[in-house]
Amino acid sequence: MLSEHSEPVKIGLREKKKQKTRLLLQQQALRLFHEQGYHATTIEQIAEASEISLSTLFRYFSTKEALVIEDELDPMIIHEFQKQPLDLNPIQALRMSVKAVFDSVDQERKEALRERTKLISSVPELRAASLIQTNKSLLLIANLVADRLHRTVDDLEILTFAGSVTGAMMAVQLYCASHPEANFVASIDEALSDLELGLPLAKQTSNQLPKSE
Amino acid sequence: MLSEHSEPVKIGLREKKKQKTRLLLQQQALRLFHEQGYHATTIEQIAEASEISLSTLFRYFSTKEALVIEDELDPMIIHEFQKQPLDLNPIQALRMSVKAVFDSVDQERKEALRERTKLISSVPELRAASLIQTNKSLLLIANLVADRLHRTVDDLEILTFAGSVTGAMMAVQLYCASHPEANFVASIDEALSDLELGLPLAKQTSNQLPKSE
DNA sequence: TATCTTATGATAGTTACTGTCAATTTATAT
DNA sequence: ATATAAATTGACAGTAACTATCATAAGATA
């Protein structure tokens, strides 16, 4: 369970060159998207700007969206999660992991991430692609938690838990999209601790509250 | 808040015809997708089978995915939700709404829905489109709950709640996709009540459990 | 019936993506 | 160094999902 592309990766000259073109393509893509907009930019332009043939580009990124979406943060968080002590409950463990990963990211890259997030949330195709990845994360979280609790993913309770966590993350993304001043990590932390407390809001009825105005 | 296409809709001969072509296109599309597969079917074929020009088809459904995704259940659930008594907490209210709507659907349509769900979960593009809709539902639920509790959607707690609910629904979809024998409504009910109890699983640590083998 | 509005259809693009095959580059063995 | 095998790249020719435009047909209204 949970193999997830963690091959040792033997590094040859070939691999290095590949990583370089990969990065180059993504950079050029993001630059052009930023300058002219996503739809106004054709992948042909990206290929030209990178001085790489169209065929090759598609060998690296099978879709236009992939140029933006592919991300290394998720794997890092997963890696952290697996290192967390077992006497933390799953949510605590996740909070620690997210914090650890974001702390390790330098300011410049954070800016870039923010730009990228803005782009994603403004282009429907990218949002869709991003949601697919979110859905994959759901399954990954389910696997991780199942492992931790010595249970199986084949279990609605586990899946529900993973789904709620993932959904909470989606909520944070939405929140941050409309509140540019909000701190992403802090919001995640807030949302997750809310979840940890059992979503007190879920138990509230309208009657228990005074009308607010 | 929450306007959401609930116009009275004055029905003329024109409207009727439109609804009919709309339905026809969807039916033909689903039939062809079922017979030959999603990718193997071109929208041109769908247009021909429906004896409707390509231009017109695109006026009804702006994307190939829309032919499958567009759905009237969500609006129905929302409508139900708004009718639920205020002394139910949001999750209870949602559970009742889902139950009410599914009870009102006849067996034949349930079969069709099941087919459709299977199709969606097996085609990446459709999954993506479906997730986008799920994301919209998140916002809708947030709005509904905010209304109920006299609060605003501009509120991380509300969004987190809506996100968790939505995520739980996603989990149920995943679960049912791999457990064809599972009852969809029952699973939703189970997931939501789990959420209502505050996700007890979220508080568990590995140590509290005996190793399962 | 006349007229005005709205829905439809034909046609010609554009662009993301696929498949194939030859040319080039890199790794490996002698 | 050189030959050979393997992997990477590029050129080219498709396909299919859309978009834009504009003339025609059908439905509503007076």
Domain ranges of chain B: 13-62, 71-199
Q: CB-CB: which of B157, B199, B212 is closest to A164?
A: B199
Residue A149 touches partner B, C-beta closer than 8 Å: yes
| Distance (Å, whole) CA B200 – CA B203 | 6
Residues with CB under 7 A from strand D: A 14, 17-18, 21, 51-56, 59-60; B 12-14, 17, 41-44, 54-55, 58, 62-65
By the CB < 8 Å criterion, does A82 face chain B?
A: no
Tokens of A151: 């249970």
- Measured between CA atoms, the residue of chain A closest to residue B90 is A202
Residues of B in contact with A142 (CB under 8 A): 171
- This prediction has a pTM of 0.88
In the stretch 129-148 of chain B, residues with CB closer than 8 A to chain A read 129, 131-132, 134-135, 138-139, 142, 145, 148
Mean pLDDT on B130-138 = 90
CA distances from B142 to B145, B156, B160, B205 (A): 5, 10, 9, 31
Q: What angle do CA B71, B75, B80 make, to 5 degrees?
A: 135
| Class level of CATH domain A13-64 | mainly alpha
Query: Which of A62, A69, A171 is CA-nearest to residue A130?
Result: A69
Residue B203 (CA) to nucleotide D12 (C1'), in angstroms, measures 60
Residue of chain B minimizing CA distance to A134: B131
Q: Compute how many other C-beta atoms are within 10 angstroms of the C-beta atom of residue B120.
A: 21
Instruction: State the pLDDT at residue A208.
Output: 58
Q: Please give the structure tokens belonging to residue A4.
A: 């997830």
Q: What share of chain B is helix, strand, coil (3-state, %, to 5)?
A: 70, 0, 30
Do the domains at A13-64 and A71-199 have one common CATH topology? no
CATH of span B13-62 = 1.10.10.60
**Phi and psi for A154 in degrees, rounded to 5?**
-75, 40
DSSP state of A85: -
B190 contacts on A by Cβ (under 8 Å): 156, 160
pLDDT in tens, chain A (213 residues): 444 443 444 566 778 899 999 999 999 999 999 999 999 999 999 999 999 999 999 999 999 999 999 888 888 998 999 999 999 999 999 999 999 999 999 999 998 998 999 999 999 999 999 999 988 888 999 999 999 999 999 999 999 999 999 999 999 999 998 998 999 999 999 999 999 999 998 888 876 544 443
The tokens describing A59, both together, are: 């060998």
Contact B77, B103 (CB under 8 A): no
Using CA atoms, how far apart are residues A125 and B117, in angstroms rounded to an integer? 21
Give which of B164, B192, B188 is closest to B176, Cα–Cα.
B188
Chain B contacts of A197, Cβ < 8 Å?
Answer: 198
Which of the following CATH numbers is that of domain B71-199: 1.10.357.10, 3.40.50.720, 1.10.10.60, 3.10.20.310?
Answer: 1.10.357.10
